[in-house]
Amino acid sequence: VQLQASGGGLMQAGGSLRLSCVASGSVFIVNAMGWYRQAPGKQRELVAYISSDGSISYADSVKGRFTISRDDAKNTLYLRMSSLKLEDTAVYYCNADISPTYSDFDEDYWGQGTQVTVSS
């Protein structure tokens, strides 16, 4: 099982970006998914979370600006980021709890990270 994140880049403050994260390989079911970020010198923090039944939560710092969604038919997670701020600059990681085809136990997976840089 692999998670592949994409969509990061350089954007001016106030702009928008959309991140994607695709789960591939021996995936049976994708359960909860989330986006995390880590800025230089800071700890990794949860940005947004979506459960298997669609329940959503956001970090206070991104509420009203970011939107998390998922397409279970494509095993894909999205993060639409709008009204970007300088403090949104970070490496963004996707995370998923996945039931693989080869095991009865759920496993936790991380994507490789995608850099988002917001400039003034």
Whether the Cβ atoms of residue 38 and residue 91 lie closer than 8 Å to each other: yes
Share of the chain above pLDDT 70, in %: 100
> How much is the average pLDDT of 1-29?
95
What pLDDT, on a 0 to 100 scale, did the predictor assign at position 33? 97
Q: Please, are residues 46 and 59 in contact by the beta-carbon 8 Å criterion?
A: yes
Q: Which residues pair with 90 in a beta bridge?
A: 116
What is the per-residue pLDDT for 102?
Answer: 86
| Segment 30-49 mean pLDDT | 96
Contact 3, 15 (CB under 8 A): no
What is the band of 104 on the pLDDT scale with cuts at 50, 70, 90?
Answer: confident
Given the structure tokens 């230089």, which residue do they identify?
Answer: 40
Q: What percent of the chain has pLDDT over 90?
A: 90
pLDDT averaged over every residue in the chain: 96
72-99 pLDDT, tens digit per residue, is 999 999 999 999 999 999 999 999 999 9
Amino acid 103: pLDDT: 85
